[in-house]
Each structure stands twice: as structure tokens, then as C-alpha cells.
Structure 1
Amino acid sequence: MRRLRNRSLAALAALGALALTGCGTGTHPSGAGAAPTAAGGTITAHPFMRLTPVHDETGMTLLEGPVFGEDGKLTVVDVTAPAGAPKVLRVDVRKKTARTLFTDARGAYTSAQFSPYDGRLYLTDFAHGEIVSLAPGGGDRRTFFTGEVDGARMRPDDIAFDRDGNLYVSDSLGLSEGEARGRVVRLARDGGNATVLADGLAATNGISFDVGYRGLWISELTENRISYLPVEKRPGATGRHTAVRVDAGLAQTDSIAVDADGNLYQALHGRPAMAVYDKYGTHLATVRVPARAEGLESATNVAITPGGTRAYMTVSGPAGGYLYTFDALAAGIRQSNGG
């Protein structure tokens, strides 16, 4: 709902002000919703575990950025966690346990992603326009990038890595003003050579490479559309174009993931659901939590088990922050994790 988005922005602004003063690999795991047999079907997601309560200090919780590490454990961020509360959690999906991986008094982290270059965990700090990295165990915090890009400080939301470890960042610049100033920014793997690849976007949010790393799928929050941006120069390649218009009603397009078959999983902020499309824009299915679930208002992202189809969706609202599971349409790959 719009109310949740407004509360999210208010909470992030407050955090910025404070700063100034089983992972199973089977293809059909038990308990997951069955894949639909026809286009436009429904996949039911099932509750897996509650990770966070609503925080008194910020008035909400908002889970994001689920990503599997090499140890098979799932990392999740809580965007609106207050100072000292768990801001990055490590979840053992086999044991259904969670522990604090990292916290601080400053950041509002909206995504998490492991680099294929150095193996570190990268986080976007939306409130401060920074990207930081951690050792896989949660220590050794480093500022990877801070400062302006082409005269404006980023509002980094999600990250996608190419095969060499270079970063592609969805910059939600202009979100709070309601202006189409969003960008896609490329950063070299050493943090240098910041380059704007696309601008004039409507609050850039989700970002993920396609299966072949030829281009980026980008979701634009305030226009409810998914755009495609080629990054590999090849004959016949053209510039960015609108690929999918998402019929989301009061909800908005949040993070995006891609499975091994190239299907797109578009999360919906303001509705506890995901819309699934093939690479040609055909609507394949909608992932939904059961109708009886109360107090859940937003599904922000998903991680699909690498090599398997067990999917873990981050869902949040007045009831708290949860992981829900379902059976994805194809196996998980790097593009199905994090961002």
C-alpha cells in the first residue's frame, strides 16, 4: 500500500537524521506450493519463520535482500531496524534459526549481495548514499563507495554483479520528490570509475542480469514497469526499453530476481505477492501468501536455492518480518539471490 511506502520513506529519513545527531537442492521440496499448470496461475507461498518484530523506534520492520552464501545459509537485511538491533541476519534454513550477523548505529540497508570477485557481502545504505562491504562472517566493515556520481549523491537500492565483480546499482534518486531522476550506475570492482548507464528512470528499484549477462532487468517503482537495459554490445542491440507493464493496482514494483530459465520474479511493495513473467513478458503466475494471513503488506524480494527450486520470499507488515516459501518455476542461480 502507499501508506507502507510512505512509512518506509519516513523511517529511512528518521534513520538518516539519527546518523547526523534446508537450503535444500531438490526440485520439488515438501511444503512448497505446486507450480501452476497454466499461464496466469497462482502459487501459494507458505509461512516458514518469523524473523523480526515491528520496532518501537521506527514503527515498522521491512525485510529485504535475501541471498544464499557458500555455506548454504541465507542472509537477510532489515531496512528499518534501529541502532543496535539486527540490521543483517544470518538464517540457517535447515535448523530454522536466525542470528545477528551485523548491526550498527547508522545504516539503513536495503539489499545484500555476495561479490563473485572477493567473496565479501555488499550492502546498500539507502539513507547515506553509500555501499559498504563485510567479511562473510559479518566483520571487517569497509566503505566501498561514497560520494557523488555526476554531481548527485546516490540513493542506492539494489545491486547486481557481473561475472567479473563489477557492480550495477539501482539508484532511486528522485524518489522522495516524485521525480523521474532514477539511474543505473556502474562501479568497477575496486569502487572506482562510477558511470551512469541510464537515467531519467522512475525510482529505480530492482535490478538483475538476465541469464546470459547480456542485459539488466530494471524495475521502476513509481511507474510499475520493468525495463530492459542491454549492457553487452552486439549486433542489433538497442538502448533501454520498457519490457513489462505490471498491473499492480495500489502496489508498486520492488526488487526483481531471475531464475535459470530466465523467468522474472517481480516483488510487489504494498502487497504480499510476486508477479512472475517469462523473458518475453508473458505473465506466468502470481505468488501469494494465504488469504488468511493478516498484518502482511509487502513482499520485497526472493532468493531461490542455488541449483534447486525452494524459494524464500521476504514479507513484512504490522505482523512483523517473515520468510515465506514456495516452489519456483526453475532452479536458482546467482541472479536469483540478493540484489
Structure 2
Amino acid sequence: MRRPPTRPLAVLAAAGMLVLAGCGTATSEPRDAASSDDAGGTIRAHEVMRLTQPHAETGMTLLEGPTFGTDGRLVVVDVTAPEGEPKVMSVDVGKKTVRPLHTDGRGAYTSAQFSPHDGRLYLTDYLHGEIVSLDAGGGDAKTFFSGEVDGAPMNPDDIAFDQDGNLYVSDSRGLSEGVAHGRVVRVSRDGAQADVLADGLAATNGVSFDADYHGLWFSELTENRISYLQLDEQGEVTSRHTAIRVDGGIAQTDSIAVDADGNLYVGLHGRPAMAVYSPHGERLATIEPPAEAEGLKSATNVAITPGGTKAYMTVSGPAGGYLYTFDALAEGTRQSNGG
């Protein structure tokens, strides 16, 4: 790195080590009363289980990309897991058990999503600029996409699928250099075509369709803002505007999930919390662990149970990588199931 890392996705390969900077419908505990510093009040999340501890080889652990499979299990990736440790895990949230799903000696996977087209699990390899797919059991690894897009390599971060199975990818290119070279890229479902939908972005991070697939939300980490791309029926951009400015203080915008009512759940890097906004930009709530929870630094992403309101967010820090649960404001859909 040329400067101190700003978030958990600035990745450097050195001496074989990775250093990274920066289901049911049952409800959770009742919400706490509104706190004085968060518009809309605070929803207290509660610990489900610890999934990982900091790795000796990388000095940290970082959970991301929670997404429910058709078997009801939650798939989670550990961005910093070294070779031999599980890089993709399958979690039974009811039994509170976890089993390894995939590992390899190369990938730094920052998101996970199941395709509506072929049912395979797609992972973004931020370090190597690739998108990898696995079968539902974690095997049959294939490189789905790699190489340059419009003459420049990608640092793919998160994925959103449209209803036809095309991928919309947040490309965080330029983060390590501190320049606004980030992009939103659409990759056809066969991996043969890649097009830039938006560029000149400041560390593009979260990406998610709205509730009706009429547009795409995306966040920019180093500007703490969320923008909206309106799309036509062919997936072409018809307009773009800044929609929400996140008052995060020392925290920065991470991944985005959208529930059935169109509300946005925005992960915060630098604070173990998520901010919730209405599609009109109103701050509805802040979701965070109890005050006594220590050693947690970031809440990267969330998956809301499809058809239910039970939500699971990935939270990480020096204490390890955890799953926390809370009651979402509306039911889960594909847009609120990882990314």
C-alpha cells in the first residue's frame, strides 16, 4: 500500500500473505429506544455466533457476503482467510453450526451471490480482478470473468444480479492510489460481454437493485455517498444522481442491501453498525450490537431471510468474525440477500 489502508478491501499481496485494509420469520428482541445521535433510533442486534478468529498469517479476519442458499443455510466469505482456512463457509443459523465450503491458495473473496440463471455461487476476487463461480456444494470452481474492461483491470467488490442473471459489479479500482477510478460494470450472464455503466467513482463498494428492478443503488466508500442509476428495460442507464449522503463520522459506507419495501441497509466500515434509509433518503434507524460488545470494528453486509424479517449481519474486528441478528423493517428478497 502507498498509504495507510482506508477500508477492508484495499488488498496487497506481499510475501505470499494478504493484508487487507480496509430461515424462518421469527423476530429478534424488541427494539431499544431511540438514541440521541442516530436519526430514527437504534435497533439492537444480538450475537448469533462467532465464525472466525483473526488469522496468524494475515493478522485479521473479515466476514462478508452473507447470502442464503436454497437449502436455507447462510453462505459467508472470509476475505482474509489464508490458504487452508475456509474462505467460504456454510452456516446453519438455527443449529449455530458452521462447515467449510471452499478454500484455495489464491482468492481474496469480498462478496457472494447465487445466480438466478444457473443457481451457482458467484464470488468476487478483489485481489486478482476475477469473478469465480462454484456449484452449490462449493466445488467445481470456475473462473467466470477476468481481464480488462474498457482497457483497465477491475477490483470487483460486490455483485447484484438482475432477473435474467446478468451481473452488476461494483469495481473499486483506484482505491489503493486514492483516485476516483471506480466503476459500475455490467457483465452478461455468459461472461462474454462487460460494459461500464458509470465511472469516475470514489472507491465503489455496495451495489443493489431497488425493490422493482427499475434502478441500481451504489455506494462510494471515500465520499460516503450513495447514488442511483435509473435503468431502462434493456438495463441501460437513463439517469444518474447522488441520492443519499451518509453522515458516518469516522465510519465509511460499505455494502448495500434492499428489503421488500425498498429500504436500504448500508454497512459501515469503522463502526460495527448499519444505517437504514428509506428509498427517499430518510434515515430510519441504526442497527448495532449492544454497547458492551467489544473488539468489533465493522459491519460489512446483511442477509434478510427471504420472505421473512430475520436478518443476519456480518461483523468483524480484533475479537473475530461474528454473525449478529436483528428484526428487519420489511421482508427479505433477492436484493436483501448478500452481494
1:296 aligns with 2:293: no
Amino acid at match of 1:51: L
Provide closer, same or farther for how the CA distance between residues 15 and 338 of structure 1 changes in structure 2, counting only shifts above 3 A.
farther
Match of 1:240 in 2: 240
Match of 2:31 in 1: 34
Instruction: Judge conservation of contact 2:17–2:82 (CA < 8 Å) in 1.
Output: no
Provide closer, same or farther for how the CA distance between residues 329 and 4 of structure 1 changes in structure 2, counting only shifts above 3 A.
farther
Match of 1:63 in 2: 63
Measure, in 2, the Cα distance between the counterparts of 1:207 and 1:141. 24
- CA deviation profile, 1:216-268 (whole Å, cap 9, x unmatched): 0001000000000112269xx85211000000011110000000000000000
Measure, in 2, the Cα distance between the counterparts of 1:176 and 1:80. 17
Amino acid at match of 1:150: D
Instruction: Judge conservation of contact 1:35–1:329 (CA < 8 Å) in 2.
Output: no
1:76-95 counterparts in 2 under 5 A?
76-95=76-95
Instruction: Judge conservation of contact 1:15–1:106 (CA < 8 Å) in 2.
Output: no
Match of 2:140 in 1: 140
Match of 1:320 in 2: 320
**2:122 match: secondary structure:** strand
Amino acid at match of 1:230: Q
Amino acid at match of 1:13: L
Higher helix share: 1
Provide closer, same or farther for how the CA distance between residues 187 and 112 of structure 1 changes in structure 2, counting only shifts above 3 A.
same
Measure, in 2, the Cα distance between the counterparts of 1:130 and 1:57. 23
Cα deviation for residue 14 of structure 1 reads: 2.8
Amino acid at match of 1:24: G
**1:222 match: secondary structure:** helix
Amino acid at match of 2:319: A
Match of 1:264 in 2: 264
Instruction: Judge conservation of contact 2:231–2:238 (CA < 8 Å) in 1.
Output: no
Give percent identity, aligned residues only: 73
Provide closer, same or farther for how the CA distance between residues 79 and 183 of structure 1 changes in structure 2, counting only shifts above 3 A.
same
Measure, in 1, the Cα distance between the counterparts of 2:140 and 2:317. 32
Amino acid at match of 1:138: G
Measure, in 2, the Cα distance between the counterparts of 1:83 and 1:284. 41
Q: TM-score, normalised on structure 1?
A: 0.93
**2:291 match: secondary structure:** coil
Match of 1:25 in 2: 25
Cα deviation for residue 334 of structure 1 reads: 0.3
Provide closer, same or farther for how the CA distance between residues 8 and 99 of structure 1 changes in structure 2, counting only shifts above 3 A.
same
1:164 aligns with 2:164: yes
Measure, in 1, the Cα distance between the counterparts of 2:192 and 2:258. 27
Measure, in 2, the Cα distance between the counterparts of 1:329 and 1:318. 30
- CA deviation profile, 1:34-61 (whole Å, cap 9, x unmatched): 3878961110001110000000000000
Measure, in 2, the Cα distance between the counterparts of 1:229 and 1:35. 34
Measure, in 2, the Cα distance between the counterparts of 1:309 and 1:5. 35
Match of 1:130 in 2: 130
1:61-210 counterparts in 2 under 5 A?
61-210=61-210
Amino acid at match of 1:151: G
Cα deviation for residue 84 of structure 1 reads: 1.0
Provide closer, same or farther for how the CA distance between residues 36 and 334 of structure 1 changes in structure 2, counting only shifts above 3 A.
farther
**Coordinate RMSD, CA, aligned:** 2.0
Measure, in 2, the Cα distance between the counterparts of 1:275 and 1:96. 26
Instruction: Judge conservation of contact 1:202–1:220 (CA < 8 Å) in 2.
Output: yes
Cα deviation for residue 9 of structure 1 reads: 5.2
Segments of 5+ residues of structure 2 without an aligned counterpart are: none
Measure, in 2, the Cα distance between the counterparts of 1:331 and 1:15. 43
Aligned residue pair count: 328
1:14 aligns with 2:13: yes
**2:212 match: secondary structure:** coil
Name which of structure 1's ranges 34-43 and 163-172 shifts more when overlaid on structure 2: 34-43
**1:218 match: secondary structure:** strand
Runs of 4+ with >6 A deviation: 35-38
Amino acid at match of 2:77: V
Provide closer, same or farther for how the CA distance between residues 119 and 32 of structure 1 changes in structure 2, counting only shifts above 3 A.
farther
Segments of 5+ residues of structure 1 without an aligned counterpart are: none
1:212 aligns with 2:209: no
